[in-house]
Structure 1
Amino acid sequence: MPMNILAEPDSSAPLVAILAYDQMGMFEFGCAVGMFAPVRPELQVDWYRTGIFACEPGPLRALGGISVEVPHGLELIDEADTVLIPGWRNPDEAPPPQLLDVLRRAHARGARLASICSGAFVLAWAGLLDGGSATTHWRLTERLAQLFPDVAVRADVLYVDSGQIITSAGSATGMDMMLHMVQKDYGRRVANLVAQRLVLAPWRDGDRSQLVPRAIPHGEPSRLARLMEWTRENLSQEHTLASLATQALLSQRTLQRQFMDATGVSPIDWVIRERVAYAKELLETTARPLQWICEQAGFGSPESFRRHFRAATGTSPAAYRAGLAVAADAAAGLQSPPGVIAAR
């Protein structure tokens, strides 16, 4: 699908600064650029601006023998609303002190910092993960914990969102993290539209396991995928373990086991998460009554709606909607880009 990469985005849009470094992996770097750099007028939102900056003199060498010339230096970080670190060449190598200094400065002024895979080590070397939680590729989690004992390393999640700092696991999970960032800035509807454009799975929460067992019988993942898609399209219906198993043409025990293997949660817990996510989308995009949203999302009663929504979000549906209105008013009055609001 052709992408509009030449048109200039609105100068008031949030700026995402992406790190380039010598010996960088092109997959993580390309994912970051591919997510944020294309202009996306079809979304009808004030989409991001993107800048690439280097932490050392160029041209830079990338894996595969590619040379990369980068237009900006570290000064770009001082303007950025989000700074994205797509990996690092050696977890045991401290990044240049100048890079660590500007990252600390960006954090102090409220910019959002995000990392993909081994990029978490850059944030850790800067001391920005101390006292908080973070993740990285499962093969590197032990090393992260050894080098930085003040970091609570989570080894079996897709990404960890600590508010101002977000870290993701192995390379491809960076896409999940970046969709999560889009979801925070623009809502679930826009995040899923972007996922659709990039032919990705819809936005996924970060607690899903990054360690997916490989012993699932051939053909069953697609069966589960079809069940998930059908369930998302029929959330207003009542769903039980028995009805889901019937729909999937599996026994209840087999469905329970394979669902846990593939997603890390039970079928019913997954349905509840999907109901809450859909309710959030409806709260963000419609002014319909809460009772209608409750019915569309498939909650059996307003009490069930409120209980599950609060358990997942920490607030009630009514308060969530009120918070959206307050944020919209603030954005209109202050003309703050979404990335700045989300980073504070």
Structure 2
Amino acid sequence: MRTVAIFIFDDVEVLDFTGPFEIFGVAGKQNGQKGYFNVFTVAEKSTISARNNLVITPTYTFENCPIPDILLIPGGGGFRPDGTPFGSRKEMNNQRLLDWVKAMNEKVELLLSVCTGSLILAKAGLLEGLSGTTHYKAVEQMKEVAPNTQLFPQERWVDNGRIILSAGVSAGIDMSLYVVSKLYGQSAASDTATYIQYDYWK
């Protein structure tokens, strides 16, 4: 069983992390099986306020988080009317987070991002010379932050082999199903999509 750590932060987009959490959480659990993944959340602090005031207690913080097999960085946030960044736009300049992500990248099997989580990977220098995607409203910012990353904003997900990125919000569900298929086969992904009645997955 692989472990999946999903990093969360203040103003994280709810579906960015709960969609993948659901996919990895139920994958392989049909027909009485124990499942393919153990999923948990990790944050820099002990309480997180996601978008629309969803308050979450993460399973771990940076201090006690075990090294996962898969690390997922979601997105969410933007700029307030006065220009102040929040959510991923704030976290992309959080040096402690960037150092943690870089350290984890050297240890995990797969590194994933959803939506503007790609900005965090880009600022950590992990997308140099790779391909990527992001939320359609963040494409221009991604070009500025990651000029050496080839962007495919029309794609739901982009696989670089070990680093896989998805487009905005609901695209994280598709990417997660793709990861299930990559690791355990197409039938495992199809069974998961059928179970959650996600008809978009083909």
Q: Is the shorter-chain TM-score for this pair beyond 0.5, marking a shared fold? A: yes
Identity fraction in percent = 28
Deviation at 1:66, TM superposition (A): 2.3
The list of structure 1 runs, each at least 4 consecutive aligned residues, that deviate by more than 6 angstroms after superposition, is: none
Among residues 171, 181, 184, which one is paired with 2:182 in the alignment?
184
Equivalent position of 2:52 in the other structure? 64
Aligned residue for 2:16, secondary structure, equals helix
8 Å contact 1:43–1:190 — kept in the other structure? no
Determine helix, strand or coil for the equivalent of 1:185: helix
Structure 2: tracts of 5 or more residues without a match: 79-87
Distance 2:13 2:109 in 1: 25
Q: When the two structures are superposed, what TM-score results if normalisation uses the length of structure 1?
A: 0.52
User: Is the Cα contact below 8 Å between 2:13 and 2:169 reproduced in 1?
Assistant: no
Q: Please say if 1:48 is aligned against 2:37.
A: yes
Greater strand share, structure number: 2
- Evaluate the alpha carbon distance shift between residue 41 and residue 156 of structure 1 in structure 2; reply closer, same or farther with a 3 A threshold: closer
Q: AA paired with 2:53?
A: G
User: Which structure shows the bigger proportion of residues in helix conformation?
Assistant: 1
Larger deviation: 121-130 or 72-81? 72-81
Task: Return the match for 2:14 from 26, 44, 49.
Answer: 26
What code does the residue aligned with 2:23 have?
M
Aligned position for 2:170: 172
Q: Which has the larger radius of gyration?
A: 1
Q: What is the root-mean-square deviation of aligned Cα atoms in Å?
A: 2.1
Contact 2:24 2:39 in 1 (8 A): yes
In structure 2, the residue corresponding to 1:160 is in which secondary structure?
strand
Q: CA offsets per residue over residues 190-220 of structure 1, 9 Å max, x none?
A: 110000001113645xxxxxxxxxxxxxxxx
State the match for 1:137 in structure 2.
135
**What residue is the counterpart of 2:155 in the other structure?**
157
Letter in 1 for 2:179: M
| Residue-pair matches, total | 191
State the match for 2:197 in structure 1: 199
Displacement after TM superposition at 1:24 (Å) = 1.5
CA displacement at 1:44 relative to structure 2: 4.0
Question: For 1:223-243, what per-residue CA distance to the aligned partner results, in whole angstroms no more than 9, with x for missing partners?
Answer: xxxxxxxxxxxxxxxxxxxxx
In 2, the alpha carbon distance for the partners of 1:145 and 1:65 equals 31
CA distances 1:147-188 after superposition (whole Å, capped 9, x unpaired): 221211112111100011000012111111000000011101
3-state SS of the aligned residue for 2:52? coil
- CA separation of 1:146/1:47 partners in 2, compared to 1, >3 Å: closer, same or farther? same
Asked if the contact 2:68/2:108 (under 8 Å) is kept, the reply is no
* Aligned-partner Cα distance in 1 for 2:24–2:63: 20
User: Residue 30 of structure 1 aligns to which amino acid in structure 2?
Assistant: T
User: Counterpart of 1:159 in structure 2: which amino acid?
Assistant: W
AA of the residue aligned to 2:8: A
Aligned to 1:17, the other structure's residue is in SS state strand
Relative to the length of structure 2, the TM-score reads: 0.85
Amino acid at match of 1:129: L
- CA–CA distance in structure 2, aligned partners of residues 168 and 76 of structure 1: 28
- CA–CA distance in structure 2, aligned partners of residues 67 and 185 of structure 1: 32
